[in-house]
Amino acid sequence: MPHLTLEYTNNLRLFDAAKALRDLNGALIESKLFEEADIKSRALSLDTFLVGASPDPRGFIHVRLAILSGRSEQAKRDLSASLLHALKARCEPMTGGEIQLSVEIQDIERGSYAKATLTAG
């Protein structure tokens, strides 16, 4: 825990998802709420998308962070702000268009979450 999913539209030619994941993971580590090895992140490029109905160039990047339930609302707000800050620092504006950035924190119920770690040895 946690699980971070980064979704971004494929028209963001200057966006480097791998570097963004490193920055986002760094923000999670800096929060001191999670162990470094427990952070799992992935990026999904979206080929089919629509932002509004205008033909103007638009794109978006959305970060979804799933964490075990029990964190305070303030801790979640702080995480959202930290992740949005890291995302903004990694994004270049779209020429002639708009990029919308968003962050969402989701609770995973502790009672139903199961985890196992396999190691060689």
Q: Which residues contact 118 (CB under 8 A, 6 or more apart)?
A: none
Could you give the number of structural domains in the chain?
Answer: 1
Task: Report yes or no on 71 lying in a domain.
Answer: yes
Residue type for position 39:
I
- Is 120 a domain residue? no
Tell me if 105 is assigned to some domain: yes
Give the domain CATH number at 81. Answer: 3.30.429.10
Structural domain for 101, as ranges: 3-112
Give dist(CA 61, CA 8) in Å, integer. 4
Q: Is residue 117 part of a domain?
A: no
Provide the whole-model pTM: 0.93
In a domain, 84, yes or no: yes
Residue 99 lies in a domain: yes
Res 86: pLDDT: 97
**Confidence at residue 1, expressed as pLDDT on a 0 to 100 scale:** 85
- Separation of alpha carbons 65 and 28, rounded Å: 10
- The answer to whether residue 2 scores a pLDDT higher than 90 is yes
Does 56 map to a domain? yes
Helix 17-30 vs helix 73-90: crossing angle, to nearest 10: 150
Examine residue 119 and state whether it is found in any structural domain, yes or no. no
Residue 103 has a CB neighbour count (10 Å cut-off) of 21
Q: How confident is the model at residue 35 (pLDDT cuts 50, 70, 90)?
A: very high
